[in-house]
Amino acid sequence: MSGVTPSQTVGPYFGIMIRRRAESRQVTDATAGTHILVEGQVFDGAGEPIPDALVETWQADANGRYRHAEDCRAQPPDPAFNGYGWAHTREDGRFGFETIKPGRVPGPDGRDQAPHIAVSVMARGILTRFITRIYFEGEAANAEDAILALVPEDRRPTLIACRAGDGRYRFDLVMQGPGETVFFDV
């Protein structure tokens, strides 16, 4: 046999490895910014909840700074916020994470992007992680975000977390089929 080893799906061990980590708390009382809770469900192509998906997040702090060596802007990042979190889904496909509403960060065109959270999803039966973003309902900066503008207007709602109460947002991930979340090829 020659060549590259073929891709494999993530096997049934995946759910075993991520048990008991249903929610993620990325903040402490000392974390600056507006504290929020993002909750949602992950659905498969048949509209059924996925009980063993891993939802990872990466975001800037409330001032738009990433805790990363390549973000070398003058203002230091919030020492009480690392910007990374993960949660796995429960039997009903639900996940949640406590975080802060991120600040605006520079975009590829030099203009500031709308506040957003980068999201990746892994699950049994898929070959690679799916990458998307969470934007926020009612955010004026969404209208001028260069990345969001690349998405056809009728598909943009799949990237918008809807307000679900005071400091709470709802964001579902639909992996395929009707209402499929927009995923980015990065």
Structure tokens at 25: 């708390």
pTM of the model as a whole: 0.88
- What pLDDT shows up at residue 101? 98
Burial 92-122 (b: 16+ CB within 10 A, else e): ebbbbbbbbbbbbbeeeeeebbbbbbbbbbb
pLDDT reported for residue 74: 83
Distance of CA 18 to the CA centre of its chain: 17
Retrieve residue 34's tokens. Answer: 């507006």
How many beta carbons lie within 10 A of that of residue 38, not counting itself? 25
What would the pLDDT profile of 133-156 be if each residue is shown by its tens digit? Answer: 999 999 999 999 999 999 999 999
- β-pairing verdict for 23-25 and 160-165: unpaired
CA–CA distance, 183 with 132 (Å, rounded to integer): 5
**Residue pLDDT, tens place only, 40-93:** 999 999 999 999 899 999 999 999 999 888 888 888 999 999 999 989 899 999
DSSP state of 148: G
Asked if residues 132 and 181 have their Cβ atoms less than 8 Å apart, the reply is: yes
User: Residue 45 contacts by C-beta under 8 Å, 6 or more apart in sequence?
Assistant: 175, 176, 177
Contact 124, 12 (CB under 8 A): yes
Length of the chain: 186
